[in-house]
Structure 1
Amino acid sequence: MRVIGLISGTSVDGIDAALVELDGQGYDLTVELIAGLAYPYPADLRQQILALCAGEAIALDRLAALDDRVAQTFAAAARALIAQAGPADLIASHGQTVFHRPVGRPVPPEQGPARLAYTVQLGRGVAIAQATGLPTVSDFRQADIAAGGEGAPLAPVVDLCLLSHPTEGRCVQNLGGIGNVAYLPPWTRQTPAPKVLGWDTGPANSLIDIAVHTLSGGTLPYDVDGAWAAQGTPCLSLIQRWLEHPYFTQPPPKSTGRELFGWEFFNQCRQAAQGQGLSPDDLVATLTEFTAVSVAQEYRTFLPALPDRVLVSGGGSHNPVLMARLQAHLPEIPVQPTDAVGVSASYKEAIAFAVLGYWHRQGFPGNLPSVTGAARAVVLGHSSSVPPLP
């Protein structure tokens, strides 16, 4: 089956689209990336999404219009990929997250059930199906949430299939807007799948992107090639203060988003930086170092053992300063982009949702309770299709 995976992450820098050839059943899977493309959001649409993520109030009719426009843009990305690489049988769309609330703390039975997680992704699947004429799987997080999970992260199960090794323990670290990790023990395919751990490690590019966009007067969306960070000097005392955030002591399973590490957190960081007399370059360097330190600290705090190798995907894998600082904080472990082992660092997350859509069609569970905290493994996604015209 040829499946298009679509996702736009918390950086809101556009839609990653991957056309993937899939064969096999369950974890016994062969995956070939046929083509990928990065489809940018129109500037005004990106600003609307970012404003909503930052907590701007919105009327329901405007929210509906924004949802439709995101879906149409996702459909346009799929059509562009088809025009480039040929037909597809199925679309699997994660959509655009604009709000994520993790699972609430357990409460005594007499106080009622624990609060479920809540998450909102724009770009409804039925509109994508209507615009493309292709069956579309979407709403991947809801079934895991209904089973008591965080609904995130969902990629670790696909990382297990694509990136595990028979003798190496590996961490697969995605550095999108938010960072997330999958810890993969060694696995020979002749044995049952091992217990995979995974969680959101905290901010990756979200704070860096906000800083560069703000400090450049809106002319730059992110720190291209780490140029700003390379010219600055990190303030270690501020990093230690930021690492005192309660999220970093909360044990997994856990997930987060711009609700914690977005504009409000950045404004606090900026005020603290101004109090220390930091230049714009210093602030970006400090936020970059903060990301690297927080990832390494999460590993040392919550992993049963450090991995033999760290494989990095997402936009952060293209930031040489961030990659170098992560390597500096894990000096005994090779830190490489996933490209080094044959999986595209740019499109790994889109590939993951193509696989989850394929598993949805097979009726195969796509979550890992050890990662999301769900009570059981469940089939993920909701299927939308357009009936043929008479």
Structure 2
Amino acid sequence: MSKLIMKNIYHSIGLMSGTSLDGLDIALCQFENQIKNNLSLWNYKIIKTEFIEYDQIWKQKLQNAHLLSALELKRLETEWTHFLIENINKFVLQSDRFDLSSLDCISSHGHTIFHQPLIKNDRRNQVSEEFGFTFQIGNGAMLAAKTGFTTVCDFRQTDVALGGQGAPLVPIGDELLFSDYDFCLNLGGIANVSFNKNSNEHEKSINSRFAFDICPCNMVLNYLSNKIGFEYDKGGNLAKEGKINEKALQKLNALDFYKEDYPKSLGREWVEEFVFPLLESQISNTNKIEEIIIKDLLHTCTYHSAFQIAESIKKIELNSLSKSKKKVLITGGGAYNDLLISYLEQLLPKIEIVKGDKTLIAYKEALIFAFLGVLRLREETNTLASVTGATKNSCGGSIYLGESELPMLSGV
């Protein structure tokens, strides 16, 4: 890896498949490293992007993957990896303006099937689990073999092994690529926030970067929208036709997770255990027409997300000595939900809400996973203990060498 460590410019393809199950994000990115005043600074450029929407068959397969047997799950992983390979190879062929011989790696997040890190707080009034685990499908060896490019994957495993949450991983990218913003807020299937505790530019470091999952966001909104025939609530328009269900809102806000201190993370399992049953009880305990109920719940959950986000940011702000107006960079699909953004602006009047451009909104996570792969190749920290609660920072990710990296063997 020595030839990679010494480089200043890297090219990486980031792959991201998230909890919202909308599709696969592919981003070809360039990263330039510069040393100024003994500080390592990074600049990025998104060269080309592609979004591969999941059809209903893939959505069902991924949504129900956690119910499969071990054999069935392994078959699904192989099938999904072939799906990745097919689309990466198409993407590469269509990138004729870029010399792919300079591509350093494919950096794949995979698709999360299980995420149950070590429970440090007694969330369910049970004894804390002795071991945490996380599992993302996506066979890195197959990706490297079938594309010919070095592949980095399995980014969360090392951190979980060190007692961390294995999430969120994006904050190292927020710190090194988006330090101009006080908060980086991602509105995906789960809403999460990243921030640096030190407001003084000279005191900032990767070890003062913190982040945590705040609340469910698009995962719940999509779940409700599907019940009345919509893939998602475009612009928050369905929710706008409803009104807040105060009883449901109180129950949502009373969930124990919101009382816990960070670091903390959320997964599909928690949403299915605590949020979906709560919403289903509201649907079954009324004589109203289902569409009206769903639109009320959509409005309720949209406000709930905005409220929890605002409360989290306000708590962080209370501990800040800086009196300058703070800026929040918003990315992820929820940035297009006008009702959600409107509530955030109402609840955070002293915070400047900045939405990224269209490319950044859609591909920020793919961009940062492309960056995590570069940091892994350089053997530099790409996972922060201050964020995840692990015993130490780590350089996570498994590396599978592509054709150009394989040593030539003779006499075998």
TM-score of the aligned structures, taking structure 1 as reference length:
0.89
Q: 1:190 and 1:197, CA in 2 relative to 1: closer, same or farther beyond 3 A?
A: closer
Kindly state the Cα deviation for residue 126 of structure 1 after the two structures are TM-superposed. 1.1
Equivalents in 2 of 1:8, 1:187: separation in Å? Answer: 35
Q: Which residue of 2 aligns with 1:356?
A: 372
Task: Return 5+ residue gaps in structure 1 as ranges.
Answer: 108-112
Mean CA deviation greater in 235-244 or 196-205: 235-244
Alignment of 1:1-390 (within 5 A): 1-24=10-33, 27-53=40-66, 56=67, 58-85=68-95, 86=98, 87=100, 88-105=103-120, 115-165=130-180, 170-184=182-196, 185-186=198-199, 188=201, 192-193=205-206, 195-216=208-229, 220-262=230-272, 265-275=275-285, 277=288, 279-301=293-315, 304-305=319-320, 308-339=326-357, 344-387=360-403
Give SS of 1:182's match. Answer: strand
Aligned partner letter, 1:72: H
Task: Give how far 1:330 is off.
Answer: 1.2
Which amino acid counterpart does residue 77 of structure 1 have in structure 2?
N
d(CA) in 1 for partners of 2:187, 2:121: 30
TM-score, length-scaled by structure 2: 0.84
Distance in 1 between residues matched to 2:176 and 2:236, nearest whole Å? 31
For 1:80 and 1:214, locate their aligned partners in 2 and report how far apart those are by CA, in whole Å.
34
Equivalents in 2 of 1:101, 1:313: separation in Å?
A: 25
After the TM superposition, which parts of structure 1 deviate over 6 Å for at least 4 consecutive aligned residues?
A: none
Amino acid of the structure 1 residue aligned with 2:119: G
Q: What SS does structure 1 have at the residue aligned with 2:313?
A: helix
Give, as a single letter, the amino acid of the residue that structure 2 aligns with 1:325. Y
Q: Secondary structure at the match of 1:62?
A: helix
Q: Is the 8 A contact 2:145 2:403 kept in 1?
A: no
The verdict on how the C-alpha distance between 1:353 and 1:141 changes in structure 2, with shifts beyond 3 A counting, is same
Q: CA deviation at 1:191?
A: 6.4
Distance 2:129 2:281 in 1: 36
Q: Is the 8 A contact 1:103 1:149 kept in 2?
A: yes
> Aligned partners of 2:78, 2:160: CA distance in 1, in Å?
24
What is the distance in 2 between the residues matched to 1:84 and 1:321? 37
More off after superposition, 118-127 vs 276-285: 276-285
Q: Considering only aligned residues, what root-mean-square deviation do their CA atoms show, in Å?
A: 2.6
Letter in 1 for 2:373: G
2:204 and 2:258 map into 1 onto residues whose CA distance is 34
Note the C-alpha offset of 1:119.
Answer: 0.7
What's the CA shift for 1:187? 5.8
1:265 to partner: Cα distance: 2.2
Percent identity, aligned pairs only, is: 29
Structure 2 unaligned segments of length 5 or more: list them: 1-9, 123-127
Which residue does 1:110 correspond to in 2?
A: none
CA spacing shift, 1:330–1:199, aligned 2, 3 Å: same
Work out the CA distance in 2 between the residues paired with 1:63 and 1:362: 33
Given the superposition, is the C-alpha separation of residues 193 and 95 from structure 1 closer, same or farther in structure 2, using an over 3 Å criterion?
closer
* SS of 1:262 mapped into structure 2: helix
Q: C-alpha distance in 2, partners of 1:231/1:27?
A: 50
Separation in 2, partners of 1:193, 1:264? 34
Distance 1:186 1:35 in 2: 34
Q: Which of structures 1 and 2 has the bigger CA Rg? A: 2
When structure 1 is superposed on structure 2, of 79-88 and 28-37 the one drifting more is 79-88
Measure, in 2, the Cα distance between the counterparts of 1:150 and 1:40.
Answer: 29
Residue 195 of structure 2 aligns with an amino acid whose one-letter code is: Y
